[in-house]
Structure 1
Amino acid sequence: MTKKLFIILLISHSLLFAQTAPNLVATDLDGISHNLYDYLDSGKTVLLDFFIVNCTPCQEAASHMDDFWRTYGPNGTDQLEILSIEVYNNSDETVKETTNNWGINNPVINLDNIPEAYIPFINVYPNYIMVCPDRSIEIIHGFDFPATILSWEQSSNNCSYGDNYTDIILFQPEITHCQGNVYANIDIGNSGSSYIQGIEIDVFIDSTQYSSIYWNEILPPGLTTNDPDAPTSSIEFESSNIFGSNIEFEINVTGDANPSNNNVIIDLTNETITNNRNINIEILTDNYPQDLIWRLSDANNITVAEGDGIGIQPNDLISLNLDLDTSMCYTFTIIDDHGDGICCDFGEGYYLITAGEDTLIYNNIFLDFKIHSFYVAGEIEEIDIENVNAQNVKIMHSSFFNLSGQQIAQPNKYGAYIRKDFYENGLIKSHKIIIPK
């Protein structure tokens, strides 16, 4: 009896995802009518984005969805349309203001509730339904970077290429740079249908090839190289001799069905905000602290602080507070004379540099030495909370937003601004952009 029930459940699950998408006809906030079946009949894939304005994950997803739409939408490859649909009985003015603040540029539709035919598919916000030209659907619940973006890519690829294809996506890497020192943690996703082994990443400075990175591990479908479940090591790029205005990473792989997502270009001319900010350097030694030497220097190679482990007890904590100029690049160097680092064969050492609640550098794995270059983001001006009377109030903030409130990977030429989001009883009410001191 148990086996029969199990089989029935499998069939039911399969039927759910094999269903035909119901048609959807609606007018967006700009007065333009949209017919789902018309898009599908023209050969386009459609991503339906069901959201509500009081939804933090929806807001977090917005800039990534806009990138996706710009790549594959009418101003990109023109193979996909995105319809964002608000379903919580809000006014057109509220929805328009919210989506403008979020940076949504694709069509936005405001409905009083979920269309009845789509109720069975929606149980969380944001809720995405990828609809193929043959009207088959795939459902993607919630938002989790970069997994959701990889799901968008895979679902769209399934519509375009079927069940057997290769596709690799290069995500915007985490990057730090100053005074010619560049470090990037590169994250690659397998948005294809088969395992991938062997990737070459070409690095360009101002359009001239600088070097190549060769990665020869195996990446399963649906995972990224930085995914904890992926049986791979991370891909890192580090150089101390880059003085161009931009750096480009480009995947060089044979047989990629969708090469449009294989490169990213990063501006290296970003300016930073000025003034001082207090930082804390924390170093936990291992069993042999006498092997340890460290130094913090500024952009002119002048020593700001330095020390060693002589006279320090094993497994002891070294802590130091400093005020650093936020307009200047700093370099932190740590050396282990014995060549075995500070973790993990002879202790559980690490080093950590923080500025307030922001972690600037953390590491515990190196052998002979490790070098990090970084800027320090400036402090923000304090502001009063207005019109917030509920008991359950919290403030969230991040150092990397532009003046429009959109999240950015690095400070741009106007600096890194702070966006504070205001919540009442768990629902976002508003946000303000704060200029750092």
Structure 2
Amino acid sequence: MNSNRRRGLLAMLALILVLAAAFLLPARPPVPAEGNTPASLVPGPPGDQAFSLTPEPATLPEAVSEQPSGEAKQTVGAVSAEDSSEPPVQTGLLSLSAVYADYFRMGAAIEPEQTEGRTAELLKQQVNWIVAENAMKPDAIEPAEGSFTWERADRIVAFAKANGMGLRFHTLVWHSQTPEWFFRDEAGQAMADETDAKKRETNKKLLLQRLDTYISTVVGRYKHDISSWDVVNEVIEPGDPEGMRASNWYKITGTGFIETAFRAARKAGGPDIKLYINDYGTDNPVKRDRLYDLVKVMLEKGVPIDGVGHQTHINLEYPSTQSIIESMQKFHDLGLDNQITELDMSLYVYKDLSDVGADVPGDILQQQAERYGELFDALRTRKELLSGVMFWGISDDHTWLSTFPVVRTEAPLLFDKQLQAKPAFQAVTGF
């Protein structure tokens, strides 16, 4: 038999086998209707790879937020419109804001896109307080001097007002996510590099004038809508000279930017808004005490500080709940309010770069639940110390920790990636 004829017979035999398989093999079972199962993965026929009932939601371009290193956080998350194949937002759950009505406000950080779709429904169900994750930072509001962009911030304000929610502002002054134009002199040179004493003083006055104008404009716009304001953020760094973060703000003005910021916010906003100095790691005695000393000096100068914001980015093991309470007690004794402003709980301890894998083990979720339960037991017991708890997100599909310090699975919040309540939610509400 010649080679051409042999190849033709083999091809015909292969076609017959394919057609036979199509008629004889059983069809894949149908996918259950939406809402019939809480699982995101449904097994196929024996030996077949699992297929997804709930496809991974599309992600928007990465947003930016703060992190303890002082660099910008990379937030990865789904903020797309509702997908018909996703499980519905759970009903019949307790509401965080209702359960804690006699204790303190409960809130979550959001992006403007999350004011629509399933995430918006979950927010309306669960919280009575929100904060902009990125849309109200200086680079978002005034990217170029005199050029204000309000649309994204306004969307969050409108969502809060439409749903009877309170608002925090984050943040008027920060060393990160601040446009470079703030720190350039009239000739476009970097102010921090100036060595001439007279020119340095001129630069200081110019920077403080710009800061005053910026804060007066922003606070003037939102003073009737936003009650709590992060005026300055992350100004303490024990490893830097004098324990103050060596930011451009500090290099150029010393602590003058802090005084100017608070005074400008009070003048523009009046006596009713509450003004906070916000930082991470406030449970650490060294950092806490340096912050305490700074605030005490500012108060003695008549700087209008109403409270301290404690970011509270914690993990499964650190810091201790007792240290969080002790820090709030110290500032409470100074006559100040406390707010937990950016709460989340990483699955990994400091410097652990491992990955638990796509499916978080049940024992880790239980450990997280117990830790959240312990923290909120303490906060309820000492409710006089604080006026609110703000989670840095509402569900695990949108968290900066997914890319910090490395890209990996994270699950730091009370609702999972499908917006379903986790054991941690039950621990926080089941008392």
TM-score (norm 2): 0.24
- Higher relative contact order (Cα pairs below 8 Å, separated by 6+ residues): 2
Larger Rg over CA atoms: 2
Quick check: which one's helix share is greater? Answer: 2
